Structure 1
Amino acid sequence: MISSILLAAATTVPATPAWNPTVAIIISISSIVVLLLATRIEKPNVGPKLPGLPVSIPTFIAAMAFGHIIGTGIVLGLTNIGRL
């Protein structure tokens, strides 16, 4: 029962783009934008500090993770509308 549901769902998954420099640039830019926005949170310096950046290590990791999520959404959205 479950395998038939998974097979039915797998046939409806849209094609995803192959990794290329455009995808890398989109994800990198979105990660940098989220990192810049992370400096505006209430307490970005809680925890161990990163040298050269105005945020802490936990804030940096969270910003990079969220930037990748946003970038992936952008890439999939652009692919869905045929622009990538």
Structure 2
Amino acid sequence: MFNTALLLAQASPTTAAWSLSVGIIMCLCNVFAFVIGYFAIQKTGKGKDLALPQLASKKTFGLPELLAIMSFGHILGAGMVLGLASSGIL
């Protein structure tokens, strides 16, 4: 039992405390995900519209598109932060 707990303690990833660089990385990953989602999502505007002004194009982003894009951006950002922290850059 003790050996299993010791192995699990050694296998935990190196995490970084929140700092300005972590916030910037997360913001950049969300912007990158938004750019990818803008060009990748084919059928937009199927759900509720956002109460924000839309871009000057024929695509209208609704709540489902926003949630999907930002979820992907947060997954991408968490992977970047964990990877950079475990490599010692952060």
TM band (smaller chain): 0.7 to 0.9
Counterpart position of 1:80 = 86
Counterpart position of 2:17 = 18
Could you tell me the percent identity over the aligned residues?
34
Deviation string 1:22-71 (CA, Å, 9 cap, x unpaired) is 10110111111111221121112211111223411111011111101100
Structural mapping, 1:1-84, within 5 Å = 5=4, 7=5, 8-40=7-39, 41-50=41-50, 51-53=52-54, 54-84=60-90
TM-score normalised according to structure 1 size: 0.82
| Runs ≥4 residues deviating over 3 A | none
Q: Which amino acid aligns with 1:18?
A: A
Alpha-carbon RMSD across the aligned residues, in angstroms, is 1.9
Gaps of 5+ in 1: none
Gaps of 5+ in 2: 55-59
